[in-house]
Amino acid sequence: TRVLLDLYGTNHDVRLWEQPNAFWPERFRTHDVTPFDLIPQGGGDYYVNHRCAGEWITLALMKGALQMLTSAMQYYVPPQNLQISLAQFPALPQSGFVIREVRRMRSVVPTEGAASDERRIYAH
* Per-domain residue ranges of the chain: 7-122
Output the pLDDT for position 46. Answer: 63
Instruction: For residue 101, count other CB atoms closer than 10 A to its CB.
Output: 9
38: nearest Cα among 12, 11, 19, 63:
11
What average pLDDT is seen over the chain? 77
Q: What is the pLDDT of residues 50-107, one digit of tens each?
A: 667 777 788 899 899 889 888 888 899 999 998 888 777 777 888 888 989 988 886 6
